Amino acid sequence: MNKIMYLEFERCIGCRACQAACRECGDHDAKERNYVEYVDFTESRQTFPMLCMQCKDPACARVCPANAIQITDEGVVLSAMEEKCIGCRNCTFGCPFGIPKFDFEKNKMYKCDMCYDRTRHDIAPMCASVCPSDAIRFIDFDEMQQLRRKRTQMNLVEGKKPQEGNKWDYVPEFFGVYTDQS
C-alpha cells in the first residue's frame, strides 16, 4: 500500500458525508473518527476536514504507557487495543492534531485507522470514497506529487505571480521553495 490520504481544505463544502461514512466502516462501531470544522462561521461557510495524519513517529503511541497503539507494517496507526488500553487518555492530550477520541462508557480511546480493513485490500477508506468535493482523496504517492505541481501551474495559468506578502499562498504545502531569507 503506497497510497496517500490527500486533503485539500479549500475544496471542502462542509457536508460531513465523511463523518457519516466513517460510522459505516466495519470496525468503527458506528462512531466517527474524523472531524469537519468551520474556520469561522461568522465570517464564511468555509469548512475543513481533519483526519489522523498517520504520523511516522506518532505522539499518541509514544505517550501510551501501555503500548496499546499499534502501527501496522504499512504504517497505519491503529486504535488502541481493547485488552491493553488502560483509559489514561494520554494519547488524546499528546496528539498535536487533537485526533484520538475517548469513549467514556468503554473507557478506551478510538481513532482513525484509515479503514484498515478496506485499505489493506487497496480499497479506499469510506471518508475518501464518499467525499463529494474530493477534499479527501486516497491516491498514489506519484499522483499526489503531480497534484501539488499542478496547483502552482494553475496559478501561472491564472496569470497570478507570487509577490512579497502573499508568496506563501503559492507554495505547495510542505515544500520550502521560498524562504524568508531569499
Partner 1 sequence: MSQFLVKEGVKNQIRKGEKLVTTHCCYCGMQCGMHIRVDEKNNKVVGVEPRYDWVLTRGKMCPKGVTAYQTIDHPDRIKTPLIKKNGKFVEATWDEALDLIESKYKGIQETYGKDAVGVYGGVSMTNEKCYLVGKYARVGLGTRYIDYNGRYCMSSAAGGFNKTLGMDRGSTLPWTELEHTDTFFMAGSNTAECHPTSIQWFWKAKDKGAKLIVADPRETATARVADVHLDLLPGTDAALANGIMHLLIKYDYVDHAYVQERCNNFEELKEMTAKFTPEYTSKLTGVAAEKIIKAAHIFGKSPRSVVMFARGAEQQTSGVDNVSLYTSMALLRGQIGKFASGVATFTGQGNGQGGREHGQKADALPGYRKIANPKDVEYISGIWGIKPEEMPKEGVSAYEMFHLMQNKTIRALHVICSNPVVSSPNINYVQDSLEKLDFLVVNDFFMSETAELADVVLPATTWAEDEGTTTNIEGRVIRIRKVVEPLGESKPDWEIMKLIADRLGKGKFFEYNEPREIFDELRLASKGGKADYYGVTYEKIDEQDGVFWPAPAEDHKGTPSVFQERFATEDGKANLAVCDFRGPSEVQSKEYPLWLTTGRVVFHYLSGNQTRRVDFLMEQCPEPFVEMHPELASQYQVENGERVKLSTPRGDMIAPVKITKAIRKDTMFVPYHWGKKLAVNQLTSPALDPFSRMPEFKVCAVKLEKLTK
34 vs 50: CA distance, rounded Å = 6
Return the number of the residue (67 or 146) whose C-beta is nearest partner 1: 146
Which one among 87, 117, 144, 167 touches partner 1, defined by CB under 8 A?
117
Is 25:31 a contact under the CB 8 Å cutoff? no
Stretch that binds partner 1, among 52-60, 73-81, 89-97, 114-122 (CB under 8 A): 114-122
Instruction: By CB under 8 A, tell whether 26 contacts partner 1.
Output: yes
Instruction: By CB under 8 A, tell whether 134 contacts partner 1.
Output: yes
Q: Which residues contact 130 (CB under 8 A, 6 or more apart)?
A: 17, 18, 20, 21
64 vs 68: CA distance, rounded Å = 7
Which one among 9, 29, 41, 177 touches partner 1, defined by CB under 8 A?
41
Which one among 62, 84, 149, 150 touches partner 1, defined by CB under 8 A?
150
Site string for partner 1, 67-106 (x = CB under 8 A): ----------------------------------------
Return the number of the residue (28 or 111) whose C-beta is nearest partner 1: 28
Stretch that binds partner 1, among 54-62, 66-74, 85-93, 122-130 (CB under 8 A): 122-130
Give contact residues for partner 1 (rule: CB under 8 A).
10-11, 13-17, 19-21, 23-24, 26, 41-46, 117-118, 121-124, 126, 129-134, 150, 154, 157-158
